[in-house]
Amino acid sequence: MALSQTGIRRWYLVHKWTSIVCTAFLLMFCLTGLPLIFHHEIDELTRAPKMAENMEGTASLDAVASHARAQEAGWHVLFLSFDDEKPIIYAAIGPTLTAGEDEGKLLLYDARSGQSINAPPFDEGVMAFLLELHAHLLLGIPGQLFLGLVGVVFLVAVVSGVVVYAPFMRKLPFGTVRRNRSSRLKWLDTHNMVGIVTLGWVSVVGLTGFIITMSVPIQGIWQMDELAEMAAPYENAKPPEKLASVDGAVATVKAAIPDAKVSFIAWPGTELSTKHHYMIALAGNTPLTERLISPTMIDAESGKLTDVRDMPWYVQILFLSVPLHFGDYGGLPLKIIWALLDVAAIVVLVSGLYLWLGRRRVPIEQRLAELNSGGALEPQPVLEPAE
Amino acid sequence: MSGRRIGAQSGWQIFRWPLLMGLANAIGLVAALVGDGWYDIVSWVTLGATLVIIVMAWRGWSAR
């Protein structure tokens, strides 16, 4: 698949311009992402809620929900969710049933006693700020979608980088780094070597990051598709006046599916359920299936189980993208490797930036000649500073 | 290896090592997702190998 001269030139320019467009954002991703890999560990050290020890029991979810609802006059319970490591229940409340994260509040309860736990708010602190910057550019959902666009440009930069790698390496063995010639050549070889070696990891983290930026549209599709289908039989029914017991709903699910592990419970009328159902999300027991929740629908009036299904493929892809992006699924060693690969990605970005900033010393014709020669013909820099 | 001149390589010769690295990365990324214990170790070894290769290549393979 030898490329023509014009073909190489085009791909070279595609790589250059797509990289220029997204390098600043990618540096932001890599720099904020580095501490975020250890988000959980840092939170544990700095702001873990104090838990009572040696306690037994199971909290009443109805009691937790009614206590949470009473915290703000006129507010609603949106969902309860269960921590997968500690006996903590998170109760989300909001001024409306469809309130977003930034309008609502998250309250913590002990899953054994049902007692309220005092904890600093989730949206405060350095880590929350870094996450907001990393995921939303501090601009909410529009920022998230914009970063998705950056992700697409980045994937084009990666593909074009691989394409120009081929002619460049035609006469160089894999992994060549010529450190003793010129500073530019050393950085160029480093850029190519680290770039090609980390290609698999970088592509997966980039692609899954892009998929995560699409979470709002993906949720929207699910609402219009399967959720609408489950709501259809209730189209003409009045919203339930009095909600059935949540504890009863969970007991019904556990009776029907004995090994069910409840991950969260969405209230009727919220984004994640119909107007007539509690949506009880069940998680599996392996690292893979604990990410793939299955929605179970409980009629919020009668308390009866009406539907159990798996999420459609596009939601499952979103769920699986989360661990593959964060690297939080293989213990601390995987996180450390993730962090070092992140540093390697920074090396690729910085070396690319260096090559671009130093470009005026080397005319494009010479750079292309270098590519065409299979990396053997080193351009003669106009003003190469002594090393 | 560094600086050694070789004849023109085919696409396969250029990309065989990168493909192997990509395959190792793919195995590593999936392994820890599928299971715990040994699966995690497979993931650490294959993804960690990427870092080892970077350091070795940068030092010039044979250099100590």
Give me the DSSP letters along B20-59.
HHHHHHHHHHHHHHH-STHHHHHHHHHHHHHHHHHHHHHH
Res. A374: pLDDT tops 90: no
pLDDT tens by residue, A136-178: 999 989 999 999 999 999 999 999 999 999 999 988 999 889 9
pLDDT tens by residue, A339-355: 999 999 999 999 999 99
Query: CA neighbours within 13 Å on the CB side: how many for A185?
Result: 20
**A201 vs B25: CB contact, 8 Å cut-off?**
yes
Count Cβ atoms within 10 A of the Cβ of residue A322 and give its class: 0-12 exposed, 13-18 middle, 19 or more buried: middle
* Cα A236–Cα A237–Cα A238 angle in degrees, nearest 5: 120
Mean pLDDT is lowest, of A232-236, B13-17, B49-53, for A232-236
Chain B residues close to A3, C-beta within 8 Å = none
Nearest residue of A to residue B15 by CA position? A166
| A50-66 average pLDDT score | 86
**Of A207, A53, A245, residue with least CA distance to B25:** A207
Q: Nearest by CB to B6, which of A173, A177, A286?
A: A173
Greatest C-alpha distance within chain B: 46
Measured distance CA(A294)–CA(A282) in Å, rounded: 5
**Which helix (DSSP H) or strand (DSSP E) does residue A357 occupy?**
helix A331-357
**B54 vs A201: CB contact, 8 Å cut-off?**
no
Res. B3: pLDDT tops 70: no
Greatest C-alpha distance within chain A: 81
Start-to-end Cα distance in chain B: 14
Q: Nearest by CB to A177, which of B14, B51, B60?
A: B60
Q: Read off the pTM.
A: 0.89
Residues 1-60 of chain B with CB under 8 A from chain A are 1-9, 11, 14-18, 21-26, 29, 31-36, 39-40, 43-44, 47-48, 50-51, 53-54, 56-58, 60
- Beta-strand ranges (E) seen in chain A are 76-82, 88-94, 105-110, 116-117, 261-266, 277-283, 294-299, 305-308
- Beta-strand ranges (E) seen in A267-345 are 277-283, 294-299, 305-308
Shortest distance between the Cα of B3 and any Cα of chain A, in A, equals 6
Query: Quick check: B7 and A171 in contact, CB under 8 A?
Result: yes
Average pLDDT for chain A: 89
Tokens of A238: 């009045």
Q: How confident is the model at residue A385 (pLDDT cuts 50, 70, 90)?
A: very low
Q: What is the pLDDT of residue B64?
A: 42
Shortest distance between the Cα of B64 and any Cα of chain A, in A, equals 15
**A200 vs B58: CB contact, 8 Å cut-off?**
no
* Local structure of A163: helix, strand or coil: helix
